[in-house]
């Protein structure tokens, strides 16, 4: 090596050593490219990515020493569950913060995958959130997650078409069925592709939510109150499933709904090809965005219908932030969760993405009220929303429900009683394992 080159190399090494020593003495901020120190947030594919990008940028601006790396998983709750559980089963230290569907908490906490948070998220902090979201974040008396946002199934409808034909907003499923058929028939000459209803009926977790709403509105349920016995064979449950099979699938809805998750079912509505649509609160913002929706400004929202004199029921949905028990950055992870569930950040998501807050006070927030987003109406739905079965065996239970429900509604002459009996027996075996 030439003398000049050796001198330059030695100088560079001394300079690097000096920088390293300075960092030890005074501390240095991690750069976003420092993947070894970056906080890793595993999330599903969002519907409004730019809103999430902004929230993360705000956090990094407030905490320049904590860069965030996001791993974006699939949109489907079922597929995202598979991704996260695989990482946690492998005790992957590369996952720090992750989303949990509220129905996963019992499974994750029982498996030891969630870091208990009671020392950070005590009673005072919890009192600022909706009570139901705190129950969904708690397992055996300990907080294992923090509520991100809450969901409940809502009915969206073409306000302009109901007004055109002087049809009131339906409060029963029979009224909705009649209104949908009447409007579709009257509009057929000008809109031959119009359907009466769009929802989520593919074999995945959304199917469980959609059918739970029909079943509980009819007075049925999937399992008993103690989650010890499946009840799919009970007459009200069978009647509700039969109604969906005979009146919705291939009736007021196209048979293609059997392949629809949230994005596909919403797309039909946004294109102006469905009179009624069932979805979560986020669909309000998308439906009224002229860049994405042909029916912007023509959309109404209401609680889901019931059967007869019974009130409609909404499936309780929503997401939680969990911190992996294998994370090497628990303190930084908590700062991120605390920021993302703060009042300011929840207001950001409410205003920009119509994601319903989990903090109670935001439902009286004047800025949110001025947007016209129907959060007050949604809060009423949240309070009466029906949870899915709470059990550490929920993934197995949900899988059995999905298979049964998909077969039951997809086959016009399906033997519902026989299928329900077989599904009951399978689910009972799973519930027995949790006792």
pLDDT at 383: 80
Domain for residue 6, yes or no? no
Among 28-37, 116-125, 321-330, 376-385, the range scoring the smallest mean pLDDT is 28-37
C-alpha closest to that of 324 among 111, 70, 82: 111
C-alpha span between 293 and 267 (Å, rounded): 8
Question: Whole-structure pTM over 0.95, yes or no?
Answer: no
Shared domain for 248 and 331, answered yes or no, is no
- In a domain, residue 216? The reply is yes
The answer as to whether 17 is a domain residue is no
Residues 195 and 84 in one domain: no
Average pLDDT over residues 320-328: 97
Specify if 66 maps to a domain: yes
Residue 4 has pLDDT above 50, yes or no: no
Neighbours of 171 (CB within 10 A): 17
CATH number at residue 204: 3.40.190.10
The strands making up 195-198's β-sheet, listed across from edge to edge, are: 195-198, 274-279, 154-158, 299-302
Neighbours of 88 (CB within 10 A): 21
What is the per-residue burial (b if ≥16 Cβ within 10 Å, else e) of 50-87?
ebbeebbeebbeebeebbbbbeebeebbbebbebbbeb
Residue 213 sits in the same domain as residue 325: no
Which pair of tokens denotes residue 412?
């016009």
**367 inside domain:** yes
Instruction: Give the burial string for 405-429 (b: 16+ CB within 10 Å, else e).
Output: bbbbbeeeebebeebbebbbebbee
The total number of structural domains in the chain stands at: 2
376-403, pLDDT tens digit by residue? 778 888 888 899 998 999 999 999 999 9
Query: Quick one: 167 and 307 in the same domain?
Result: yes
Q: Residue 57: CB partners within 8 Å, gap ≥ 6? A: none
For the cut 90, the answer to whether the pLDDT of residue 156 exceeds it is yes
pLDDT in tens, 176-195: 999 999 999 999 999 999 99
* Burial class of residue 13, CB neighbours in 10 A (0-12, 13-18, 19+): exposed
For residue 26, being part of any structural domain is answered with no
**Which residue in 367, 359, 392 sits closest to 85, CA to CA?**
392
The model's pLDDT over 24-75, given as tens digits with 9 standing for 90+, comes to 333 333 333 334 468 999 999 988 899 999 999 999 999 999 999 999 999 8
The answer as to whether 12 is a domain residue is: no
**422 and 287 fall within a common domain:** yes
The set of residues, in sequence order, having a beta carbon less than 8 Å from that of 52 and lying 6+ positions away, is 43, 46
pLDDT at residue number 33: 37
Could you tell me if 96 and 176 lie in one domain? no
Categorize the per-residue pLDDT at 281 as very low, low, confident or very high, splitting at 50, 70 and 90: confident
Is residue 21's pLDDT more than 80? no
Same-domain check for residues 363 and 408: no
Per-residue model confidence as pLDDT tens digits over 199-251: 999 999 999 999 999 999 999 999 998 899 999 999 999 999 999 999 999 89
Please report the DSSP string for 217-244 in residue order: HTT--SB-TTSSSB-TTSHHHHHHHHHI
> What's the pLDDT at 374?
80
- Taking the mean position of all CA atoms in its chain, how far away is CA 118? 24
Closest by alpha carbon to 34, among 67, 58, 70?
67
Instruction: State whether 374 and 291 are in the same domain.
Output: no
**CA-CA distance, 157 to 155, in Å (whole number)?**
7
360 shares a domain with 282: no
Task: Please say whether the beta carbons of 233 and 421 come within 8 A.
Answer: yes
**Is 22 domain-assigned?**
no
Alpha carbon distances (Å) from 240 to 44, 247, 248, 384? 32, 10, 11, 19
The partner residues of 23 in beta bridges, in order of sequence, read none
147 and 158 together in one domain: no
The CA distances from residue 19 to 9, 12, 27, 38, 309, in Å, are 15, 11, 10, 20, 74
Q: How many other CB atoms sit within 10 Å of the CB of residue 159?
A: 15
Q: Which of 360, 383, 406 is the last residue of a domain?
A: 383
* Residues 311 and 321 both lie in one domain: no
> According to the model, what pLDDT value does residue 37 have?
66
Domain that residue 172 falls in: 154-316+390-433
* 143 and 196 share one domain: no
Percent of the chain clearing pLDDT 70 (strictly above) = 91
How far, rounded to the nearest angstrom, does the alpha carbon of residue 377 sit from its chain's CA centroid?
19
Mean pLDDT (whole number) for 265-272? 98
Separation in Å, CA 140 to CA 62, 128, 137, 433: 34, 21, 10, 18
Tell whether the model's pLDDT for residue 11 goes beyond 50: no
């Amino acid at each position: 090596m030439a003398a000049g080159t050796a001198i330059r190399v030695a100088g560079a090494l001394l300079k690097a050593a000096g920088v390293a020593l300075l960092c030890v003495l005074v501390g240095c901020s991690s750069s976003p490219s420092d993947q070894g120190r970056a906080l890793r947030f595993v999330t599903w594919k969002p519907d409004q990515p730019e809103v999430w990008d902004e929230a993360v940028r705000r956090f990094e601006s407030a905490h320049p020493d904590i860069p965030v790396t996001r791993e974006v998983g699939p949109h489907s709750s079922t597929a995202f569950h598979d991704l996260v559980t695989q990482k946690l089963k492998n005790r992957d230290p590369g996952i720090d913060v992750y989303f949990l569907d509220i129905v996963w908490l019992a499974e994750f906490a029982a498996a030891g995958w969630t870091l208990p948070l009671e020392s950070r998220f005590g009673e005072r902090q919890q009192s600022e959130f909706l009570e139901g979201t705190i129950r969904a974040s708690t397992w055996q008396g300990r907080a294992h997650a923090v509520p991100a946002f809450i969901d409940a199934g809502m009915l969206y409808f073409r306000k302009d078409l109901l007004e055109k034909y002087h049809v009131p907003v339906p409060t029963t499923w029979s009224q909705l069925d009649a209104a949908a058929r009447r409007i579709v028939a009257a509009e057929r000459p000008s809109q031959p592709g119009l359907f009466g209803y769009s929802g989520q009926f593919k074999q995945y977790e959304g199917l469980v939510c959609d059918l739970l709403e029909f079943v509980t509105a009819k007075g049925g349920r999937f399992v008993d109150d103690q989650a010890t016995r499946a009840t799919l064979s009970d007459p009200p449950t069978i009647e509700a499933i039969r109604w969906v099979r005979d009146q919705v699938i291939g009736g007021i809805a196209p048979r293609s709904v059997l392949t629809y998750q949230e994005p596909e079912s919403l797309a039909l509505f946004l294109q102006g090809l469905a009179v009624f649509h069932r979805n979560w609160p986020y669909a309000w913002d998308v439906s009224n965005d002229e860049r994405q929706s042909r029916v912007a400004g023509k959309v109404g929202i209401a609680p889901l219908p019931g059967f007869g004199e019974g009130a409609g029921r909404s499936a309780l949905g929503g997401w939680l932030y969990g911190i992996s028990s294998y994370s090497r950055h628990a303190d930084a992870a908590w700062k991120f969760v605390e920021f993302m569930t703060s009042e300011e950040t929840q207001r950001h998501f409410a205003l920009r993405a119509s994601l319903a807050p989990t903090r109670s006070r935001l439902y009286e927030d004047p800025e949110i009220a001025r947007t016209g987003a129907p959060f007050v109406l949604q809060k009423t739905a949240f309070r009466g929303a029906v949870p899915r079965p709470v059990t550490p065996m929920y993934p197995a239970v949900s899988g059995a429900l999905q298979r049964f429900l998909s077969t039951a509604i997809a086959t016009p002459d399906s033997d519902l009683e026989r299928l329900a009996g077989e599904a009951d027996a399978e689910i009972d075996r799973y519930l027995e394992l949790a006792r």
